[in-house]
Amino acid sequence: MPETHLPNKFKVACVGRAFGPEAQALIRDVVPAEFEISFEIDPGEKCHPLIRESDFILTTAPITEKLIRESPRLRLIHKWGIGVDKIDLAAAEREGVPVAITAGSNAVVVAEHTIMLIIAALRQLSLADRSMREGKWIYTELRPKCRKLSGKTVGILGFGNIGKNVAKRLAGFDVEIIYHDPFRSPPEIEKQFNARFVSFDELMEQSDILTLHCPGGAANHRIINAAAIARMKRGSVLVNAARGDVVDEDAVVAALESGQLLAAGLDAFEPEPLPPTSKLTKLENVVLTPHTAGSVLDNVVNVALHAFNNMLRLARGEEIPASDIVVRPARSRDFAKAS
């Protein structure tokens, strides 16, 4: 049922596929008294009317320049999670609307999912599971395709909150950890996570397993392409729980078919949803998940409260933490007429 507008409350629109019925129930239980909250799961134009009348949005849906201009009340665009590739950041700056993320709030669960993808790819879980369901017992056939994690070199591209949490969770697997990031971590952090900084080329050449945790967008567009994959060890494993556009899908398919890549574990794609015609869906040596690395029910409250606290800070005239702010416009909107 539609919710009735309550005077003196800020309207918050939660839009996108992250906000299913179970998540909605949890979020309603923790929403601050200052907010009136509404939901729309459809990330397309169906959510636009809700956004246009809201003061804050918490989103996994695309936010365009046109939509920002048509939403005069909008005080803050808050991403559910950290990826802002679907938000027109330049338009938000021009329109005076800040953009924030929930930095670190889903780092643990994405790291857990990453470890799952690494092991599932190494042990050919998709093939094993599918063959069992088809009534086949391929014990002998699986052995040549499977590899252990122990003793391998794991390369991490992007050593932010998620990359560090992946390194932390690899501690018990007897692996060597190397990483590359535009900003090298201090020596004490490298020691804490037992991780060694290398160049991008060294990361490609030395990794038995390469896991991606870098932002999407122009800076990293298809950074894992045919040339990069060719530098990798033959029979290595690629895991992507970052963004689909950081990988050249055709190059990955070719490498999986040729044996340059033993296997892959992929949670992010370009476009999304992954089309059923994608060649990835036909390959036995790929584990596919529908961009769900950060999607666990018992982390919903953690992410929601993180975002709500930032909204409250802005409403009270306080600063949003630097780790969360993506766009801080030089000139903010005048909300006198919209209030």
Residues involved in catalysis: 243, 272, 291
Give yes or no for a cis peptide into 72 (omega within 30° of 0).
no
Question: Quick check: 252 and 264 in contact, CB under 8 A?
Answer: yes
- Are the C-beta atoms of residues 111 and 165 closer than 8 Å to each other? yes
Cis preceding-peptide flag for 271 (omega within 30 of 0):
yes
The Cα 24–Cα 47 span in angstroms is 15
Joined tokens for residue 163: 């990359």
Radius of gyration of the chain (CA): 22
Continuous H helices in 18-138: 21-30, 48-52, 65-69, 89-95, 107-122, 125-133
Q: In what order do the strands lie in the sheet with 286-288?
A: 195-197, 176-180, 153-157, 209-212, 236-240, 261-266, 286-288
